[in-house]
Amino acid sequence: MFSDFFTYGRVLWEAGHLHVTSGNMSVKKGSVIYVTRTGSSLAMLTARDIVPVNLDNDLRDKNASSETPVHRAIYRALPGIGAVVHSHPPYATALSFDMDEVRTIDSDSLFIPVIPVLKDCPYAEGSACVASGFPRTLDSHKVALVRGHGAFAVGDSLAQCAARLTMMENQCRLVFFRRLLERR
Ligand SMILES: [Zn+2]
């Protein structure tokens, strides 16, 4: 059941989205959210690093990722989704400081035409501000950025979330280099 955690945690590590203890992933099964342990490394997860918490309250959150309140808020607001992934993609995060949204320019813009930036929340892991502001954005966009922090993606599965995050980062890398070339 946890093999997708191991596979896509490794994918995000190899794609350069993470440092050793950043990022978190979860899936929802009924009234349980399985989320990565706080301080775990997505590059080398084991079954012990996947923590079950409650969808309806924080009573079992003790060892769970510090971003668990954001994951829970997203699941509660969007009951149709099955997975949430948070990563720190460097090109997308760099653009998020100065852009209110990233308009993509490559052929994948058919799938992700706009990447919204949540810009009104001061940086804080698991912040109530992000937890309250993000679910609505992710309903329509599936992937979005927190200014100066990183990205969240939602989907049916961890595979779909990882696909969206890596596509988004690729798009942002192109926007980044295009902006550099335009300055010449
Ligand atoms: Zn983060």
- What is the domain-level CATH number for residue 115? 3.40.225.10
CA–centroid distance, 40 to ligand 1, in Å, is 13
What's the pLDDT at 126?
A: 63
- Classify strands 114-118 and 143-146 as parallel, antiparallel or unpaired: parallel
Residue range 5-29: mean pLDDT, rounded: 96
> Residue 179 Cα, ligand 1 centroid: separation in angstroms?
26
Contact criterion met (CB below 8 Å) for 127 and 66 = no
* DSSP structural state of residue 48: G
Structural domain harbouring 39: 3-182
Q: State the average pLDDT over residues 100-120.
A: 93
How many domains, in total, are found in the chain? 1
**12 CA distance to ligand 1 centroid (A)?**
13
> For 127-145, how does the pLDDT look when each residue is reduced to its tens digit (9 = 90+)?
778 888 788 888 889 999 9
Residue 57, by phi and psi: left (phi above 0), alpha (psi -120 to 50) or beta?
beta
